[in-house]
Amino acid sequence: MLEQLNEKDFGTPRRIAEQEVTLEIDGMQVTVAAGTSIMRAAAESGVNVPKLCATDSLEPFGSCRLCLVEIEGRKGYPASCTTQVERGMKVRTQTPKLQALRKGVMELYISDHPLDCLTCAANGNCELQDMAGVTGLREVRYGYEGENHIHSQKDESNPYFTYDPSKCIVCNRCVRACEETQGTYALTISGRGFESRVSPGQDQPFMDSECVSCGACVQACPTATLQEKTVIELGQAEHSVVTTCAY
Binding mask 184-223 toward other proteins (x if CB under 8 A, else -) reads xxxxxxxxxxxxx--xxxxx-----xx-------------
Which segment (4-12, 16-24, 158-166, 179-187) binds other proteins by CB under 8 A?
A: 179-187
The C-alpha atoms of residue 14 and residue 232 are separated, in whole angstroms, by 33
- Taking the complex as a whole, the smallest distance from the CB of residue 207 to other proteins amounts, in Å, to 14
Angle between the 127-135 and 96-110 helix axes, to the nearest 10 degrees? 140
Q: Does 69 bind other proteins (CB under 8 A)?
A: no
Task: Look at residues 75, 3, 71 and name the one whose alpha carbon lies nearest to residue 37.
Answer: 71
Q: Does 160 bind other proteins (CB under 8 A)?
A: no
Q: Does 111 bind other proteins (CB under 8 A)?
A: yes
- Taking the complex as a whole, the smallest distance from the CB of residue 135 to other proteins amounts, in Å, to 12
- Taking the complex as a whole, the smallest distance from the CB of residue 146 to other proteins amounts, in Å, to 4
Using CB under 8 A, pick the residue from 147, 238, 242, 243 that binds other proteins: 147
Cβ proximity to other proteins, 45 vs 188, nearer residue: 188
Which segment (42-50, 114-122, 127-135, 164-172) binds other proteins by CB under 8 A?
A: 164-172
Q: Does 68 bind other proteins (CB under 8 A)?
A: yes
Which segment (54-62, 122-130, 156-164, 221-229) binds other proteins by CB under 8 A?
A: 54-62
Residues that bind other proteins (CB under 8 A): 60-65, 68, 76-77, 79, 82-84, 97, 100-101, 104-105, 107-109, 111-112, 141-142, 146-147, 169-170, 172, 184-196, 199-203, 209-210
